[in-house]
Amino acid sequence: MEWQRREGRHSLPWQGTRDPYRIWLSEVMLQQTRVETVIRYYERFLARWPSVADLAVASVDEVLALWSGLGYYARGRNVHRAAREVRDRFGGEFPRRFEDLATLPGIGRSTAAAIAVFASGERRAILDGNVRRVLARHAAIEGDPSTSAAIARFWEIAEARLPERGIERYTQGMMDLGAGVCLARNPRCPLCPVRADCVARAESRIDELPGKRRRAERPRRQVSMLVVLAHGEVLLEKRPPTGIWGGMWSLPEIDAGAKPAAALETRWGIRAAEVRALEPFEHAFTHFTLEVQPWRIEAHGTRAIARDKGATWMSLQDLGGAALPSPVRRLLASIA
């Protein structure tokens, strides 16, 4: 705690507040995302929706549009759902207690604990990736850190080390220690305030801990994306509410190997005047890698109206405000 007071982070935009809405927003955005990336999204969200009541009346399209580029879009959908549940179940008052927080969509044990700590000083342990790395090295927790046995051990150690007082500074200190000193690669051990009794340092096992996760080979999937253009507009399709890029607007997809022009006319009644293959690309998801072959298609004659209810034409000049997945946005930016 003393180290955090002297050396820790104190100027992040979500620090210095007890507002559980702001703390929640930052904690969800910080899941698997770097602080530097989160800051601009966090500030944009608060400028657009300064309270949970404001966010609750937004549409999921609006939320996903502002979330676009932050990744892990299920978080954006859960943010929208949670805001509405706070409105409906808690009368618009964002909860502060761990037990209430843990019932909201997208809030797990560690996130609920972090919000409760910073919003009300509740004495709870957290276990984000940075804290887990600190504990793995300092307490020499071995093996695959993703197993149920290892996770149970992490929680046991994390809870046993909680201070009786100063939980906010202690929690922030653990986060700061993992983020700035106990790094995954090239940790800055000489700067560590707990180096004297760190088991990994004493036994020269810093590179071994935490242990490696057992990862199955990531499968690969192939798909073709259709960039259908007409009069400065592009055809977009609404994705299903669940699954990858759920609820976002994206380019129409067909099976890899299918003929783009024939698929376009069969599915949407749009004739192709010109079809050209674009540079293929890959996009890595958590559990698989998507191989994409994009096709640029100029629609024949006047702009056709898409038959599908979940499809729309959008001006290439208006794509900045649309809820598009990052790779789709980059693809369209390259041809706009």
Q: How many residues does the chain have?
A: 336
Q: Whole-angstrom Cα distance, residue 277 to residue 257?
A: 12
**What pLDDT does 336 receive?**
66
Long-range contacts of 138-145 (CB under 8 A, 24+ apart): 138/194, 138/197, 138/198, 138/199, 138/200, 139/199, 140/199, 140/200, 140/203, 140/205, 140/209, 141/209, 141/210, 142/209, 142/211, 143/211, 144/211, 144/212, 144/213, 144/214, 145/210, 145/211, 145/213
What pTM, to 2 d.p., does this model score? 0.85
Confidence at residue 213, expressed as pLDDT on a 0 to 100 scale: 81
Q: Which CATH superfamily is domain 220-335 in?
A: Nucleoside Triphosphate Pyrophosphohydrolase (3.90.79.10)
Q: What is the pLDDT of residues 73-106, one digit of tens each?
A: 999 999 999 999 999 999 999 999 999 999 999 9
The reported pLDDT for the residue numbered 304 is 56
Hey, do 2-202 and 220-335 end up sharing a CATH topology, with the first three levels equal?
Answer: no
127-165 pLDDT, tens digit per residue, is 999 999 999 999 999 999 989 999 999 999 999 999 999
pLDDT score recorded for residue 214? 77
Active site residue 237: no
Cis preceding-peptide flag for 210 (omega within 30 of 0): yes
Candidate CATH numbers 1.10.340.30, 3.30.70.2190, 1.10.510.10, 3.50.50.60; the one for domain 2-202: 1.10.340.30
Check residue 305 and give its pLDDT: 65
- 282-318 residue pLDDT tens: 999 888 999 999 999 999 865 556 555 688 999 999 8
Instruction: Name the catalytic one among 7, 27, 279, 298.
Output: 27
Buried residues in 311-328 as b, exposed as e (16+ CB within 10 A):
bbbbeeeebeebbbbebb
Give the pLDDT confidence of 159-204 residue by residue, as tens digits.
999 999 999 999 999 999 999 999 999 999 999 999 999 999 999 9
Evaluate if residue 208 carries a pLDDT over 90.
Answer: yes
Per domain, the residue ranges of the chain are: 2-202, 220-335
pLDDT at 327: 93
